[in-house]
Structure 1
Amino acid sequence: MIKQAVNIQEAFLRELKNKRILCTVFLTNGFQYKGKVIGFDTYSVMLDVDGKQQVLFKHVISTIVPSKKVDMKSIRQ
C-alpha cells in the first residue's frame, strides 16, 4: 500500500473552515486579522472579519493561531 503525503497546511485550514473556528492571522509586516476561514486555495486564504471578506495571500502570512485546539487526529501520516 502506498502512503499518500499529508498536507498539514491544507488539513489545518480545512478544519478551521469546517468547524468555523475563530483565529488570529499574523502577517509578515506585523499586521493581524481576527476572523474565520471561509475559503482557501493554493495561494490565498479568505477570512470573514466582522462580516467583511478579506483575501490574504499566503506568502504574507507568518502565523495562524486558532482560538481553540484544532483536532488533527483525522489526518493519517
Structure 2
Amino acid sequence: MTKPQINLQDSFLNQVRKENVPVTIYLVNGFQLKGIVRGFDNFTVILEYEGKQQMVYKHAISTITPFKPISTSFSEMAK
C-alpha cells in the first residue's frame, strides 16, 4: 500500500491563509512583498496588505516566509 501524496505547497498556503499568518514573499527578482494570503490556485497567490490585494504569479516566487511557525499535517506525517 502506498502512502498518499502530500502537497506541501497547498498545505502550507492553506494553513497560513486559514490562520491569517502574515508572510513575506520573496520574488525571484529580489523584491519582497508582505501581507496575508487570501487565496491561491495552481498559478497564483492573492496577497493582501493594508487593505489592498495583489495577485502574484507563483513562477515569480522564490520563497515564502511566515511570521510565525506553521503547524501543518505534513509535520506529523514526516515523523
**TM-score computed with the length of structure 1 as normaliser:** 0.92
Counterpart amino acid of residue 21 in structure 1: V
> RMSD between aligned alpha carbons?
1.1
How many residues get paired?
Answer: 76
Amino-acid identity (%) = 43
* CA drift at 1:3: 2.4
Instruction: Report the counterpart of residue 13 of structure 1 in structure 2.
Output: 13
Q: Which runs of 4+ in 1 moved over 3 A?
A: none
Long gaps (5+) in structure 1 = none
Q: Which has the higher helix share?
A: 2
Counterpart amino acid of residue 45 in structure 1: V
Counterpart amino acid of residue 4 in structure 2: Q
Long gaps (5+) in structure 2 = none
The secondary structure found in structure 1 opposite 2:42 is coil
